[in-house]
Structure 1
Amino acid sequence: MDRLLPADPSSIGGHRLVGRLGAGGMGVVYLARSPHGAWVALKVIREEYADDPGFHARFRRETELGSRLAGPWTVPVLAADADARSPWLATAYVPGLPLSEALALRGPWPHPQVRALAAALAAALADVHRAGLVHRDVKPANVLLAADGPRLIDFGIARALGATALTTDGSVIGSPGYLSPEQARGTTVGPPADVFSLGCVLARTATGLPPFGTGGAAAVLYRTVHQEPDLAGLPEDLVPVLRACLSKDPAGRPAVDALRAEFGDFTAASWLPEGLPALVADRATGVLDLPVPDPTALSAPDPGAAPSRRRLLVASAAVGVSAVGAGTAWWRWGRAGAPTAGRRPLPVRTVAMLGDLSTAVVQAQVRGARLAVAGHNAGAGRTFDLVLRTADDRGTAAGSAAAARRLVAAPEVYAVIGAGTNTAVPAAVPVCTGAGVCLLITRADTDALNATHTTSSLVLRSTRSAGPGSLVKYLNWVVRPARTVVVHDLADAAEGEATVLAVTVSLEAGTVDSVAVAAGDGFTEVAQALSAHPDTAVIFAGGVPDRAAACARALTAAGHRGVRGGDEHILGASFLKAGTGWWISTGYCDAAADPGTRAFATAYRGRHRTAPPPWAAEAYDAVRYAAHGLAGLGGGERDALRAELLREPWQGITRRFSYESQSQYLRTGTDGGWFLYRVAGGEARFEARHDDIGENARTRGSRDAV
């Protein structure tokens, strides 16, 4: 549990807050005392999500349904306020150990204890479904182990039966490895989806391994949809029932009542494996003697005190407006990092940039970062000065780890921006995490970065695991093809990356089919099969430019006429030559062509006499985002920066930085940092931001409040 931050209230709805149990993009969960003295977990939804039309009505209905949960293995809603500016709900707090943590510490469970767990969780799901809910995120992290039995917790994405799912283009609700095939496809889910997830949880508990393997989210989702589960090592009597739970067809899965009959009643005696009762007891005693803090006291401001967070934000906004109003003169400031003369020196916060300094793409990011530092240090309302430090990782994992160790050893370094490649950046993650320094990753996009919620890192871009979002929106809103074929290139998997980014997409028009092409095969057979329906849209799900080029040539030779597309990872020289007309979804904007980055582009040209290359604007945003978090921390410790950045969304010039509560990956809905390009003349040319695709998209004004 973390301490309360200065900006946190002392009470909500009569509940006295004690500490933070967790925080994410959608809200904050507090440990609190109810008005009657009971411990509760109180979840507060951020204001911006409550602005969605109909949110309050849906939230009210779901909390009412949640209050009906009366079984011993669920945690009911005790109180809620759907009409509050930041809606909240309180559930009973159960001190215990998550199953995910127990498995990591002690490994797989013996057979009798697995059956006991199964009995309780089947009963929990029966209670959930009777209440008219589908949990939709049954996984080990949402199973809490208490001394008297397990509890199924976190109904944050539960949905009332028959309600419309609130998904956006390219979204999947649930956790890869435990969600059902119908969830992975983005289709409507019901109680059988929870049965599938329960089967995954029990298989993981019994064998120590998830039934659809490990690795990147997209690869796991692909195996979930297209391959049979690996049940090796499962006790024989569990194989038939769990294989039925993991049926691809929802109708082929057993009902929860049948599972209750299979597993019988839960018995509390010796239900936990050896060694776990002590861990559970230790976790439970941690909150028993916590004091309840006094209410926040308000007093007259000290004239010599630092400005409040609110005043800082207002001052920052004022500086931004004046900078835009100054036209092209604002970048003519002094050396990046130099404090303004003629005033009392301010505290200094250092932001470091880590990457291969010999490459043009990292140099572009350094230049963008320096513009952000100069802009910050020209702000009259700032409370600290920024300094940018660079470190060369030479493009290698060893170089990245070594450079990161040097950076985090310096106490003045408050954040590191990972500007490097998939090879180098992952090696800096454990180094920064060990030192408690926030690592902000601008362009790396590898499965090795999937578990960001367990590190001090934040990935500042949309990733390939989420799918080619702008391409999908273009198909959904503009083309609306009668049929789309997703070509999964398994050559990409051979190189250690997911090939199935598009399995997570939500294609709304026509039918969607998939075909996999082995690493040693060509694309002629696939292209010829499409010749009977030449207007079929094609999504290339892979990241090897030469393979994408081969696919493009095969489609052209077969007379294919439909829309073709992929993501930025195929943009090599060979593909750009062969892929004329292809639509490409990227995680970087063209700052010279995007109206939302016009002022930045003008400033960049004024200083460097050239248009800003890819990733320069993203690095500019990374520094400004770090500065935003540092302003919120005040004089706080650097290891609190990541939590401060997750506390509330922040709008940059390239995207809105808002993070999922579970994975803590960038939200890829509204203004999530996807951009659409089209290949022409041997280059990828900018077409639109994700939000501006389609005739109904609203016209964007400039976001460039620099």
Structure 2
Amino acid sequence: VLDLPVAEPTVLTAPEPPAGVSRRRVLAAGSALAVAGAGGLTAWLLGRDPAGEGTGTGKGAALPSYTIGVLTDLSGPTKEAGRAQERGARLAVEAFNARPDRAFDVVLRAMDDGGQGPRAAAAARDLLEDGRLVGVVGPTTVPGVVAAVAELVDHSVPLISVLAAVPNGTTLEGQTTKRTYFEPRPSPDSMIVPFARHLSERGVLRTAVVEDRDGGRSTWFAVNSLKKTPPSQAQGGKATSHPVEADSEDFASAVRAALATAPQGVMYVGTSPRRAALCAKALRDQGFRGPCGSVEQPFTQEFLDLAGPAAEGWYFGTAHVDPDGLPGAKAFAAAYRKRWGLPAATPVEPYATE
């Protein structure tokens, strides 16, 4: 959005409403059409009067400014991802505000919700006091999303999260009548696809799935998908599941049952980094040296620390990318490291690019 081409300064107007139609309704429709058109967001922002300011006409006049909120976890359990989100957004805003051809400035306001719903609600209310607020990025957790949506929806302020993944069936206030929450990321259970594709491309016909039922619905959906559409399905591939109950940590027995099927690849499906590490250790202890992989949730430093050498060679499907592996993100990665004082060899944090 920040990189949209900037149009000439524009003021939106609406024709006089026909008989029986309120002017307010016509203005709302006119604004919606303008936003939908090419470059429409820029036109809408230019035509809007932020908190009583004009549009900055005249040489040397101050530009109008608009606020983007970042509602994220800077002190709680997901603070690493939250900090990366805030840093990536701040870098984008600073780059935009440095453009000589910009028609308005963007102000970034970062709010720490600690990964908690009540704090996210309070932070959203604080952001709403800013009359220039046009949208909010975040939060990092599902409780944070649920709470923030409830505060923002009546004000039609959009909330966009690339980190939180709201499960199907979760009620988000007001989203049945108007859409204000957007989640431009795949669902967690679809993160089986990258490793499954890796196995298919290597012709793996027998895949064993260690099904960690501690993961609840997410695990159930993912395992069901793997059994219905296993790697190398067109070539006769099959997937078997071997459960570990939520109140058990006996991964050794599940791995033993999995290896009895002579698998060519093993996938752990669950949400716990610690339990994934137990699975990795059991596989290593029982001598499996084929490809192993998992979904995004267990892919944390905790998994690496607890699994130790057993983590070597594992594959993970994620909803974030390493910008060093994308030619188009080379400039971003360099600017990010420079802005935040990171050595050249230090990886850019997950979700900073997104």
Q: TM-score, normalised by structure 2?
A: 0.71
**Match of 2:293?**
565
Q: How does 1:313-324 map to 2 (within 5 A)?
A: none
Alpha-carbon distance change, 443 to 579 in structure 1, aligned in 2, over 3 angstroms: same
Q: How does 1:357-372 map to 2 (within 5 A)?
A: 357-358=74-75, 359-372=79-92
Structure 2: which amino acid aligns with 1:526? A
State yes or no: 1:421 paired with 2:141: yes
TM-fit CA distance, 1:482: 1.1
**Match of 1:412?**
132
Determine the C-alpha separation between the residues in 2 that align with 1:373 and 1:532: 55
User: Which one has the bigger helix percentage?
Assistant: 2
TM-fit CA distance, 1:497: 5.6
TM-fit CA distance, 1:583: 0.6
Task: State the secondary structure of the residue aligned to 1:468.
Answer: helix
Q: Residue by residue, what CA displacement relative to the aligned partner does 1:95-136 show, whole Å, maximum 9, x if unpaired? A: xxxxxxxxxxxxxxxxxxxxxxxxxxxxxxxxxxxxxxxxxx
User: Would the aligned equivalents of 2:208 and 2:259 in 1 still touch at CA under 8 Å?
Assistant: no
**Match of 1:492?**
215
| Equivalent in 203, 212, 215 of residue 480 of structure 1 | 203
**Match of 2:278?**
550
Structure 2: which amino acid aligns with 1:441? S
Task: State the secondary structure of the residue aligned to 1:484.
Answer: strand
Determine the C-alpha separation between the residues in 2 that align with 1:377 and 1:573: 35
**Match of 2:3?**
none
Percent identity (aligned): 33
Structure 2: which amino acid aligns with 1:562? G
TM-fit CA distance, 1:374: 2.0
Q: How does 1:134-149 map to 2 (within 5 A)?
A: none
Structure 1: which amino acid aligns with 2:247? G
Determine the C-alpha separation between the residues in 2 that align with 1:519 and 1:594: 38
User: Would the aligned equivalents of 2:264 and 2:290 in 1 still touch at CA under 8 Å?
Assistant: yes
State yes or no: 1:514 paired with 2:241: yes
Q: How does 1:590-609 map to 2 (within 5 A)?
A: 590-609=322-341
Determine the C-alpha separation between the residues in 2 that align with 1:313 and 1:424: 27
Alpha-carbon distance change, 535 to 498 in structure 1, aligned in 2, over 3 angstroms: closer
Q: Residue by residue, what CA displacement relative to the aligned partner does 1:288-332 show, whole Å, maximum 9, x if unpaired? A: x99xxxxxxxxxxxxxxx9x9647899xxxxxxxxxxxxxxxxxx
**Match of 1:639?**
none
Report which of the two structures shows the higher radius of gyration computed on alpha carbons. 1
Determine the C-alpha separation between the residues in 2 that align with 1:368 and 1:412: 21
Q: TM-score, normalised by structure 1?
A: 0.37
Q: How does 1:78-89 map to 2 (within 5 A)?
A: none
Structure 1: which amino acid aligns with 2:350? P
Report the count of equivalent residues: 288
User: Would the aligned equivalents of 2:211 and 2:219 in 1 still touch at CA under 8 Å?
Assistant: no
TM-fit CA distance, 1:442: 2.1
User: Would the aligned equivalents of 1:539 and 1:564 in 2 still touch at CA under 8 Å?
Assistant: yes
TM-fit CA distance, 1:459: 1.1
Determine the C-alpha separation between the residues in 2 that align with 1:451 and 1:465: 19
Task: State the secondary structure of the residue aligned to 2:210.
Answer: strand
Q: Residue by residue, what CA displacement relative to the aligned partner does 1:622-660 show, whole Å, maximum 9, x if unpaired? A: xxxxxxxxxxxxxxxxxxxxxxxxxxxxxxxxxxxxxxx
Alpha-carbon distance change, 353 to 311 in structure 1, aligned in 2, over 3 angstroms: closer
TM-fit CA distance, 1:398: 0.8
Structure 1: which amino acid aligns with 2:349? P
TM-fit CA distance, 1:381: 4.4
State yes or no: 1:445 paired with 2:165: yes
Determine the C-alpha separation between the residues in 2 that align with 1:398 and 1:448: 22
Alpha-carbon distance change, 603 to 351 in structure 1, aligned in 2, over 3 angstroms: same
Determine the C-alpha separation between the residues in 2 that align with 1:403 and 1:536: 49
Task: State the secondary structure of the residue aligned to 2:323.
Answer: coil
Alpha-carbon distance change, 311 to 421 in structure 1, aligned in 2, over 3 angstroms: closer
- Please, which runs of 5 or more residues in structure 1 have no aligned partner? 1-288, 291-305, 315-338, 619-706
Structure 2: which amino acid aligns with 1:613? E
User: Would the aligned equivalents of 1:416 and 1:437 in 2 still touch at CA under 8 Å?
Assistant: yes
User: Would the aligned equivalents of 2:189 and 2:295 in 1 still touch at CA under 8 Å?
Assistant: no
Determine the C-alpha separation between the residues in 2 that align with 1:573 and 1:382: 40
Determine the C-alpha separation between the residues in 2 that align with 1:571 and 1:390: 26
Alpha-carbon distance change, 395 to 449 in structure 1, aligned in 2, over 3 angstroms: farther
Determine the C-alpha separation between the residues in 1 that align with 2:246 and 2:319: 26
TM-fit CA distance, 1:544: 0.8
User: Would the aligned equivalents of 2:188 and 2:218 in 1 still touch at CA under 8 Å?
Assistant: no
Q: Residue by residue, what CA displacement relative to the aligned partner does 1:447-482 show, whole Å, maximum 9, x if unpaired? A: 2785676351111222213242221221222x2211
Task: State the secondary structure of the residue aligned to 2:297.
Answer: helix
Alpha-carbon distance change, 497 to 470 in structure 1, aligned in 2, over 3 angstroms: closer
State yes or no: 1:344 paired with 2:61: yes
**Match of 2:225?**
504
Q: How does 1:2-401 map to 2 (within 5 A)?
A: 310=38, 343-358=60-75, 359-401=79-121
Q: Residue by residue, what CA displacement relative to the aligned partner does 1:537-565 show, whole Å, maximum 9, x if unpaired? A: 22211001121111112222222233211
| Equivalent in 336, 340, 351 of residue 615 of structure 1 | 351
User: Would the aligned equivalents of 1:475 and 1:507 in 2 still touch at CA under 8 Å?
Assistant: no
User: Would the aligned equivalents of 1:534 and 1:562 in 2 still touch at CA under 8 Å?
Assistant: no
Structure 2: which amino acid aligns with 1:485? A
